[in-house]
């Protein structure tokens, strides 16, 4: 979901009868028309207790947008007034990537990554807020880190609660998508936590990243961005998905192919002016699931903008966008 290393060495609705992977001839739906501040990258969206929607994103010190109706968005500054000092251990500009927003235990939790392009010397941090609004966040430091000796990259966090436990998926390129268990009290990785492997590609640079994990029915669904981000109209990002009955996997697509072997049903790809769809997250509001993502607007010099589509589920339990 982030402005990610390009290589590892340098990462309800009406049902349908066929899974996403089989709908190769169907056109992809355009995103919901929106107004106001549309520029965004790697959005995470949530409806706050105040009734407002907030979208946090890569850019600035975690850029913020606010909306009352998901259709008109206003610039709301940044989550933080200035970068916490420890961010500079991971890049020289204190630039955070790919936030994830959730609500738990009476507080809003904002996870994010700090890194530099082309390295897995990276860290995921966490902050909390009573309201979820920009300017109200207290940073709590590092959640999980990776170094150049590791075979994974600690960026692109996504949080999910499952069976009374708290989990974080993360990852980019290197060996793809990983998962660790968190301590629900601190929101940080448990000491000595196993690093589970959820998805990868068969060949270098293992171009899969930006996970988002949700539960629907009896399955956990792993959404991820495949191929190349962050190249404007030359981006090839697309969103794929697999599922599992167990939070730690194995995840497979609708043909049974494991995501650890490069599987994944194609959910959304670029079409028309909407190039490089990815950096996705899934949220639920007023009984409706939504997919949030960025695309590069081919009619506006490749500017990254907010995409929102309703997310439905087929009778076979696979997601599709509307």
Residue 138 DSSP symbol: E
Question: Which tokens go with 214?
Answer: 């949700």
Q: Is 309 helix (H, G, I), strand (E, B) or coil?
A: strand
CA dihedral (284, 70, 227, 194) in degrees, to 10, reads -30
Residue 280 backbone dihedrals phi, psi, to 5 degrees: -85, 160
Residue 76 backbone dihedrals phi, psi, to 5 degrees: -125, 25
Strand partners, 93: none
The residues that are catalytic are 42, 209
Question: Which tokens go with 35?
Answer: 């107004």
Q: Which residues contact 234 (CB under 8 A, 6 or more apart)?
A: 228, 302
Q: Which residues contact 89 (CB under 8 A, 6 or more apart)?
A: 114, 123
Residue 206 backbone dihedrals phi, psi, to 5 degrees: 55, 55
Cα 52 to Cα 27: distance, rounded to the nearest angstrom: 32
Residue 157 DSSP symbol: -
């Amino acid at each position: 979901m982030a402005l990610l290393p390009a290589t590892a060495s340098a990462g309800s609705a009406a049902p349908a009868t066929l899974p996403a992977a089989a709908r190769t001839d169907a056109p992809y739906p355009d995103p919901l028309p929106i107004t106001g501040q549309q520029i965004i990258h790697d959005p995470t969206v949530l409806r706050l207790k105040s009734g407002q929607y907030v979208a946090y994103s890569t850019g600035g010190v975690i850029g913020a947008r606010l909306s009352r109706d998901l259709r008109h968005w206003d610039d709301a500054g940044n989550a933080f007034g200035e970068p916490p000092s420890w961010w500079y251990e991971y890049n020289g500009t204190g630039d955070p990537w790919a936030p994830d927003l959730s609500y738990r235990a009476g507080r809003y939790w904002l996870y994010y990554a700090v890194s530099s392009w082309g390295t897995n010397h990276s860290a995921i941090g966490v902050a909390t807020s009573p309201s979820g609004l920009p300017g109200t966040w207290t940073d709590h430091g590092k959640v999980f880190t990776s170094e150049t000796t590791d075979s994974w990259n600690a960026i692109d966090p996504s949080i999910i609660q499952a069976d009374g436990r708290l989990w974080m998926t993360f990852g980019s390129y290197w060996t793809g998508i990983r998962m660790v268990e968190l301590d629900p009290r601190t929101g940080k990785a448990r000491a000595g936590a196993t690093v589970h492997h959820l998805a990868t590609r068969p060949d270098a640079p293992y171009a899969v990243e930006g996970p988002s994990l949700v539960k629907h029915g009896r399955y956990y669904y792993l959404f991820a961005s495949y191929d190349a981000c962050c190249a404007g109209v030359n981006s090839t990002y697309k969103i794929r998905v697999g599922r599992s009955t167990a939070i730690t996997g194995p995840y497979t697509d609708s043909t049974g192919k494991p995501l650890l072997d490069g599987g994944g049903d194609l959910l959304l790809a670029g079409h028309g002016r909407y190039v490089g769809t990815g950096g996705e997250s899934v949220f639920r509001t007023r009984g409706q699931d939504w997919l949030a993502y960025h695309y590069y607007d081919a009619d506006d010099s490749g500017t990254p903008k907010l995409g929102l589509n309703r997310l439905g589920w087929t009778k076979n339990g696979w997601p599709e966008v509307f």
